[in-house]
C-alpha cells in the first residue's frame, strides 16, 4: 500500500491514466482530501488534452508532394536499343548516317538511364527522410508521455500575454521538461520562437517551436540540470546560440 507521501507523487501517472485499479482507487480517495494534488491533477489533465492535439508531428506537405512526384517520374525499365541491322545495299552515305544515328541513340539512352538512376535515388532519399521524420515523431511522443506520467512530475501554468498561455511540466528524476503552449501569436516570416533554460539568469537553448502552430507541446532539448525556470524569445529562423531579443515570457519551474 502506498503511504501518504507516495500518493503525492502519483499526480502525473493518474493524469496519464497509468495507474492500475488498486492504485487509482487509493489515489482518488486521497485526492478527495488533498487540494494541492487536486489542483495539480487538473493542470496535468489539461496538459494531456493539449498534448493529444499538439504532440503529433506530421511530415511537411512539400515532402509528401516531392515523394509522389519523384516516384511518378521514375521509369523502372530503361529503354534498350534494337540489335544492329545486318549488311544492306544502302549507299555508303546512308550507312554512315545510320552509324551516327545509332551512336546518338545509344548516347541518349545512356544519358536517360543515368537520369532514371538519379531520379530513383532521389525518390529513395525522400522516402528515407519521411521515415526518419516519422520515427522522430514517435520517439518525441513517447518521451513527452514519459515526462507527463513520471511519478515526480510537477506542473505550472501561466499567462504569456496577448491571450496566450503556457504550461511547463518538469520531472527531476528524468531530468526533462515539457512545455505546452496555447494561443501563441503568429510570427512574421523568418522568425521563430526559441525556448531557453534559465540558470540563474543565464539562458541555455532548449530548442525551437513550430512557427506554424499556435498550440504545441515541445520536449525541451537538453537536461533540466540546475535550471530553475525557462524563457521564450523571438529569434531568426534556425535559432540563435544566445538570445538576441528580450524574452516574450519567463516562467519559473514548479517546486
First to last CA, the chain: 26
What pLDDT is attached to residue 94? 46
- Please provide the average confidence, as pLDDT, over all residues in the chain: 74
pLDDT for 197 beyond 90: yes
* 66-112 tens-digit pLDDT: 655 655 555 555 455 555 555 554 445 444 445 555 556 555 555 55
Contact call for residues 2 and 26 (beta carbons, < 8 A): yes
Residue the block writes with cell 539512352: 109
* 130-177 tens-digit pLDDT: 666 666 666 667 777 888 888 899 999 888 878 888 899 999 999 999
Distance of CA 134 to the CA centre of its chain: 8
pLDDT level of residue 215 (50, 70, 90 thresholds): confident
Q: Could you tell me the residue ranges of all domains in the chain?
A: 61-146
pLDDT level of residue 29 (50, 70, 90 thresholds): confident
* 183-195 tens-digit pLDDT: 888 898 899 999 9
Amino acid at each position: 500500500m502506498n503511504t501518504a507521501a507516495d500518493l503525492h507523487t502519483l499526480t502525473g501517472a493518474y493524469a496519464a491514466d497509468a495507474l492500475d485499479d488498486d492504485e487509482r482507487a487509493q489515489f482518488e480517495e486521497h485526492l478527495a482530501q488533498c487540494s494541492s494534488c487536486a489542483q495539480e491533477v487538473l493542470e496535468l489533465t489539461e496538459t494531456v488534452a493539449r498534448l493529444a492535439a499538439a504532440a503529433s508531428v506530421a511530415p511537411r506537405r512539400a515532402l509528401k508532394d516531392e515523394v509522389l512526384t519523384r516516384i511518378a517520374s521514375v521509369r523502372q525499365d530503361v529503354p534498350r536499343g534494337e540489335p544492329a541491322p545486318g549488311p544492306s545495299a544502302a549507299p555508303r552515305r546512308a550507312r554512315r548516317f545510320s552509324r551516327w544515328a545509332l551512336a546518338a541513340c545509344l548516347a541518349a539512352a545512356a544519358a536517360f538511364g543515368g537520369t532514371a538512376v538519379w531520379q530513383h535515388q532521389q525518390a529513395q532519399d525522400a522516402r528515407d527522410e519521411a521515415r526518419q521524420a516519422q520515427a522522430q515523431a514517435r520517439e518525441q511522443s513517447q518521451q513527452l508521455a514519459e515526462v507527463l506520467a513520471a511519478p515526480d512530475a510537477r506542473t505550472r501554468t501561466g499567462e504569456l500575454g496577448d491571450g496566450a498561455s503556457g504550461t511547463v511540466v518538469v520531472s527531476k528524476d528524468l531530468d526533462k521538461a515539457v512545455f505546452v503552449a496555447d494561443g501563441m501569436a503568429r510570427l512574421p516570416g523568418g522568425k521563430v520562437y526559441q525556448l531557453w533554460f534559465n540558470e540563474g539568469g543565464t539562458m541555455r537553448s532548449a530548442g525551437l517551436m513550430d512557427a506554424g502552430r499556435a498550440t504545441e507541446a515541445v520536449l525541451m532539448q537538453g537536461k533540466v540540470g540546475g535550471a530553475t525556470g525557462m524563457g521564450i524569445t523571438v529569434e531568426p529562423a534556425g535559432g540563435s546560440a544566445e538570445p538576441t531579443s528580450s524574452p516574450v515570457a519567463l516562467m519559473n519551474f514548479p517546486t
